[in-house]
Structure 1
Amino acid sequence: MIKQFLSLEWKQFFRASYFQKGLVVKIFLILGALYFGGIALLLGGGMFFLIKKEIPEVDPVILINNYIIYWFLFEILIRYFMQQLPVMNVKPLMVIPIKRNTVIHYLLGKTTLSFFNFLSLFVFLPFSVVLLAKGYPVLNVVCWFFSIILITLSINFLNFLINKSNTVFYIAATLLLALIGLEYFEIFKASEPIGLAFNTLYSQPYLALIPLLSLMFLYNLNFKFIKNGFYLDDAVTKKIKSVEATDLSWFDRFGAIAPFLKNDIKLIWRNARPKQALMMSFVFLFYGLIFYTQDTYREMPAMLAFASMFITGGFLMTFGQLVPSWDSEYYKMLMSQNIPYRQYLESKWYLMVVAVGISFILSIPYLYFGWKIFGMIAAGALFNIGLNSFITLFGGALNRMPVELNTKAKAFGNTNGFNPTQLLIGLPKFLLPMGLFYIPYKLVNFETGIIVLGLSGVLGVVFKNFFLRKIENVYQKGKYKTIAAFGEKK
């Protein structure tokens, strides 16, 4: 049966419409995986010698064990935002004689093939080989290495639960923030007892049973979680909800794009995932506190430009990057109407412009850090309106991952709709404002950098029709591929 599942997955991968859209992107992702995998191998192989050179009086194993908790915290963070959870279209399988347990075991087994699981293998396998070559006890090193891999797999299944359950997410986030806060304010250094625990794990090989039992526990927990909802009735039953009507007649003044604006406002107001994106965009307003309060970053003006763009660009980064995926559940119906694509795209642009304007008004308290900083924020807002908004809309043409609007069972909605392609598309959003500011800054002065960054946004607004026309052509060419991709069940 597993062989049949693999055959179905293979056919779905090559026959799906979204396979055609990003062959170049897939090649870049493979090259990126090879690049970071190679760096991990070099890091693992050279870690022992680097520690011996810099801190010769400390045993490298002890030092690694003392700080390995930060590696695992980094894993949890990067997995939550980047790891795509494997899914299957299980509805057809529910009506044929296949055991539910077999399907669930296969689904969970797919999670072990994540690149993030291999990353730990690439780092700690060469490090363990070096330890064995240097004469460290074989049993201790081997058991310690397998313990690290078992913990990595445990984090893999923990991430599955975090992404599937709000309760698990809030518990994990609270514990993580509490530990970081206690460590930062030197109230309680959690890294010390954790480091002691890992050193004990190395010195007592039989303790490798603890990570093994932890992995088994989390696997069974995931198994039960999925099995509890693995019923055809749950899959096909629609929940009826009462919707409170809202008067949005004042949007009529926007003319032909008014229906789209009303639709987006209702979408954000009535659905869980868009609401969470809106709340997250508010968090971006505080991004400047990380940079403007540190003297180190004040000496790195390019990073200040990066932060200034983020302060007013939260809505673009959270909501805007998933255009048109927000409309995936009714996109076929939307495109069957006699609606010009231009109106659809222009409504999204105005929505982002209004969001940037509101964020800029809310950023006025940053005047506390001086007129130069606030001027940079204003220039970043202009860049977001005039250039970043169009880059975001263009990126949407390449993003054909559907979004489930109401997914209360998952922390911060659903991670669907997010894929690594967005990271490649997002590079100009981060690098362009830094370059537009930094080059004039180095050639002339700080104020010139701000002016150039702001003028780039003004020019974007002046050539709005040109950009929208080009973006419209891209959407038109991929219209039917997008409809087909949104119609597929991931």
Structure 2
Amino acid sequence: MIKKFLSLQWKEFTRSSAFQKGIAIKILLIFAALYFGAIALFAGIFLFFGIEEMFPNEDPMVIVNNFIIFWFLIDLVIRYFMQQMPVMNIKPLMIIPIKKGTIIHFLLGKTIISFFNIIPLLIFIPYSIVLLAQGYAPLHVIAWFISVMAITQALNFLNILVNKSNTVFYITLGLLATFAALEFFDIYKISEFFGVLFNGLYNHPYLVVLPIVLAAFLYYLNFDYLNKRFYLDGAISKEIKEVNASDLSWMDRFGKLATFLKNDVRMIWRNKRPRQVLMMSGFFLFYGLFFFTQKAYDDMPAMVAFASIFITAGFLFSFGQLVPSWDSEHYKMLMSQNIPYRKYLESKWYLMVLAVVISFILSTPYIYFGWDKFAMIAAGASFNIGINTFVTLFGGALNRVPIQLNEKAKAFSNTNGFNPTQLLIALPKMLLPVLLFYIPYFLTDYNLNAGIITLALSGVLGLVFRNFFLSQIEKVYQKGKYKTIEAFAEKK
């Protein structure tokens, strides 16, 4: 039966619209995976020798155990935002004689063979081989390696629960916040406690059973959670809600754009997912506090420019990157209407511009850190309006992953609709403004004003060519229109 599931998954993958994407994107993603895999492999090989050189009087194994908890914490955070949840079209399987347990075991088993689980293998296998070559006890090294891999799988299964259950999410978030507060305010060094724990796993090989039991327990919790919700009526029934109508007649002044703008405002107001994104974008306003309050960044203006972009780009990055996925549930109907595609794109553009302007107004308190910092935020806002909005819209043409607006999968930031292509599109949005600032800054003998003016003018130039950019983006959307409709029609 597992062999049959694998066959069905392969057919679903090769026949899906995702498989039809441009070969260039596939090649870039493959190279990215190989690049990060190679970095992990070399890190594992040279980790021991690097630590030995930096701390000649310390045992590298002790140093690794003291700090490995931070690796696991970062791993958990990255998994939450980037790891895709186990997906399978299970509705047809519910009406044929296949045991529920078999399907659930297959779904959970898929997550074990994940890029996020392969990276630790590429790091810790060569590291363990180096330890053995350096004369460390084989039994201790093997038991420690198994413990690390078991904890990695435990994080994998914990991440699934965090994504599926609001209760688990808030408990996990509360624990992480408590640990961070205890560590930051020197109340209790949590890192030292985990250092002792991991050193204990190495010094006492029989303790390897604890991480294994933990991973097995979290696997069981996932199995139990899915098993209790594995029913046909729960899969196909729709929750009926009372919808409160709002008077948005004041938007009629925008002419033909009003219809689209009203739809977006209603969507954000009525649905859980876009409301979460709107709330999340507000946190970007505090991004400058991490950079402007640190004196170390006073000598790194390029990093300050990087932070200034994010302050006004919260809604642009979080909402804009999922255009047109927001409309995936009614995209076919929308595209069948007698309305220009250009107006649809312009409405999204105006919405992002409005969000940048509001964010810039709300960032006014940053004047406290100096007019130069606020001028950099203004230049970043100009770049976001004149360049980043168009780059974001262009990236949307490559985003054909549907979104369920009221999906209950995550408590805070549902990543349904996320795909690796967005990472490639995000690179120019983050790196280009840094280059536009730093190159004139460097060429004018470190003149801060030159970098700020160049960054601001780039946004103005983008607005001058607004119609040209929108026309080119419209052509890209029109070319892939039917592929997008087909992709959004695929049900998961």
TM value normalised by structure 1: 0.99
Equivalence map 1:318-333=2 (5 Å):
318-333=318-333
Matched, 1:199 2:168: no
Letter of the 1:111 counterpart = T
What pairs up with 1:110-121 in 2 under 5 angstroms?
110-121=110-121
- 2:37 is the alignment partner of 1:30: no
Task: Spell out, residue by residue over 1:93-135, the C-alpha distance to the aligned partner (whole angstroms, 9 max, x if none).
Answer: 1111111111000000000111110111111111111111122
Tell me the equivalent position of 1:296. 296
Task: Give the Cα–Cα distance (whole angstroms) in 2 for the partners of residues 413 and 222 of structure 1.
Answer: 20
- Structure 1 residues without counterparts, runs of 5 or longer: none
How has the CA–CA distance of structure 1 residues 14 and 409 changed in structure 2, closer, same or farther, with 3 Å as cutoff? closer
Alignment of 1:270-419 (within 5 A): 270-419=270-419
Cross-structure match for 1:485: 487
Contact 1:88/1:107, CA 8 A, preserved across alignment: yes
C-alpha displacement at 1:49, in angstroms? 1.5
User: Residues 143-182 of structure 1: matches in 2 within 5 Å?
Assistant: 143-182=143-182
**Conserved 8 A contact 1:272-1:405:** yes
| Native 8 Å contact 2:439 2:451 kept in 1 | yes
Give how far 1:487 is off.
0.5
Question: How far 1:170 sits from its partner (Å)?
Answer: 1.3
Q: Which residue of 2 aligns with 1:476?
A: 478
CA distance in 1, matches of 2:327, 2:241: 19
Distance of 1:461 and 1:254 partners within structure 2: 19
Query: Take 2:454 and 2:254, find their aligned partners in 1: how far apart are those partners?
Result: 31
Amino acid of the structure 2 residue aligned with 1:39: I
Contact 1:407-1:413 at 8 Å conserved across structures:
no
Deviation at 1:411, TM superposition (A): 2.5
Alignment of 1:446-465 (within 5 A): 446-465=448-467
| C-alpha distance in structure 2 between counterparts of 1:337 and 1:189, whole Å | 61
Partner of 2:441: 441
Identity %: 66
- Decide whether the 8 Å contact of 1:41 with 1:126 is kept in 2: yes
> Can you list the C-alpha shifts for 1:289-332, whole angstroms capped at 9, x where unaligned?
00111111121111111111100010011101000000001101
Letter in 1 for 2:465: F
Deviations 1:205-260 (A, max 9, x none): 11100001101100010011111111100011111100111000000000001000
Contact map agreement 1:44 1:127 (CA 8 A) in 2: yes
Q: Is 1:88–2:56 an aligned residue pair?
A: no
Deviation at 1:408, TM superposition (A): 2.5
1:431 equivalent in alignment to 2:431: yes
Alpha-carbon distance in structure 2 between the residues aligned to 1:432 and 1:451? 15
CA distance in 2, matches of 1:127, 1:463: 53
CA contact under 8 A between 1:403 and 1:414: conserved in structure 2?
no
Q: Distance in 1 between matches of 2:409 and 2:120?
A: 29
TM superposition shift of 1:63: 1.0
Cα distance in 1, alignment partners of residues 434 and 163 from structure 2: 33
Deviates more, 1:47-56 or 1:93-102: 47-56
Q: Which moved more, 1:291-300 or 1:339-348?
A: 291-300
Q: State the partner residue of 2:58.
A: 58
Task: Measure, in 1, the Cα distance between the counterparts of 2:363 and 2:5.
Answer: 52
CA deviations on 1:117-162 (whole Å, 9 max, x unpaired) are 0111111111111111122111111111000000000000001111
Deviation digits for residues 428-447 of structure 1 (CA, Å, limit 9, x no counterpart):
10011111111111122211
Which secondary structure state, in structure 2, belongs to the residue aligned with residue 53 of structure 1?
Answer: helix
Shift of 1:409: 3.9
Q: How does 1:105-144 map to 2 (within 5 A)?
A: 105-144=105-144
Secondary structure of the 2:355 match is helix
- TM-score (norm: length of structure 2): 0.98
What code does the residue aligned with 2:334 have? L
Q: CA deviation at 1:22?
A: 3.6
Query: Which piece of structure 1 moves more, 411-420 or 384-393?
Result: 411-420
Q: Tell me, in whole angstroms, the C-alpha distance in 1 between the residues paired with 2:163 and 2:24.
A: 29
Deviation at 1:412, TM superposition (A): 2.4
Distance in 1 (CA, whole Å) between partners of 2:435 and 2:281 is 24
Distance 2:367 2:400 in 1: 40
2:224 corresponding residue in structure 1: 224
The 1-side partners of 2:318 and 2:119 are apart by 27
Q: For the Cα contact (< 8 Å) 1:274–1:405, is it kept in 2?
A: yes
Gaps of 5+ in 2: none
Q: Distance in 1 between matches of 2:22 and 2:285?
A: 33
Q: Is the 8 A contact 2:280 2:413 kept in 1?
A: no
Do the aligned residues in 1 keep the contact of 2:272 with 2:405 (CA within 8 Å)? yes
Letter in 2 for 1:103: I
Question: What letter is aligned with 2:257?
Answer: I
Structure 1 stretch 50-59 or stretch 98-107: which is displaced more?
50-59
3-state SS of the aligned residue for 1:407? coil
Cα pair 2:306 2:434 within 8 Å, conserved: yes
Distance in 2 (alpha carbons) for counterparts of 1:306 and 1:53 = 33
**Corresponding residue of 1:48:** 48
Instruction: Please list the CA deviations of residues 34-71 of structure 1 after superposition, one character each: whole Å capped at 9, or x if unmatched.
Output: 11111111111111122222212111111111111001
Matched AA of 1:200: G
Alpha-carbon distance, 1:413 to partner? 4.9
Write the distance in 2 (CA, Å) between the matches of 1:52 and 1:442.
37
- Paired residue type of 2:91: K
Q: What is the CA-CA distance between 1:414 and the residue it aligns to?
A: 2.9
Give the deviation of 1:21 after TM superposition: 1.3
Q: After superposition, give the CA deviation of every residue in 1:174-219 in whole Å (9 maximum; x if it has no partner).
A: 1112211211121110011111011111111111000011011000
SS at match of 2:255: helix
* Aligned residue pair count: 490
| SS in structure 2 of the partner of residue 398 of structure 1 | coil
Cα displacement string for residues 388-420 of structure 1 (whole angstroms, at most 9, x for unaligned residues): 000000000000011110023423253221111
